[in-house]
């Protein structure tokens, strides 16, 4: 009695199934920050640290944790953010409008 090796088509179907699973898991996960958190547009001479303090009543992070979150989730260096750059901050969106942007002065447009 001999054991037959699995054919190539089995491996292809197996790999494709795993790929589809991970793609679905990504799109169904709650990690898509753009949909859950507000965005701000950085103004001239403004820092992420200033935003952490400005929006401190709307999040529960320390300023250091806020800056680290922004750095990680926007893939930016918080010390070198240009004016006019739109970034996502850890402040939950409260409006149903998906295009909500917070201005640097704390208002909305």
In angstroms, the CA 85 to CA 53 distance is 19
Statement: the pTM of the whole predicted model exceeds 0.85: no
**Could you tell me what percent of the chain has a pLDDT over 90?**
39
Per-residue pLDDT tens digits for 2-13:
555 567 787 788
Residue 48 DSSP symbol: H
Q: What is the pLDDT of residues 2-42, one digit of tens each?
A: 555 567 787 788 888 888 887 777 666 545 556 788 989 99
Q: Could you tell me the sign of the dihedral formed by the alpha carbons of 14, 19, 20, 22, in that order?
A: positive
Confidence (pLDDT) at 78: 81
Amino acid 23: pLDDT = 78
Q: Of the segments 45-49, 91-95, 102-106, which one has the largest average pLDDT value?
A: 45-49
- Reading the block at residue 27, the tokens are 């799109």
Residue 65: is its pLDDT beyond 80? yes
């Amino acid at each position: 009695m001999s054991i037959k090796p699995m054919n190539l088509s089995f491996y292809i179907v197996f790999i494709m199934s795993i790929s589809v699973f991970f793609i679905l898991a990504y799109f169904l996960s709650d990690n898509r920050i753009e949909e859950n958190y507000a965005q701000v547009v950085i103004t001239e001479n403004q820092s992420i640290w200033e935003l952490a303090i400005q929006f401190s009543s709307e999040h529960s992070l320390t300023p250091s944790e806020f800056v680290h979150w922004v750095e990680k989730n926007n893939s930016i260096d918080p010390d070198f953010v240009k004016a006019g750059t739109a970034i996502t901050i850890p402040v939950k969106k409260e409006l149903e409008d998906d295009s909500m942007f917070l201005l640097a002065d704390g208002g909305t447009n």
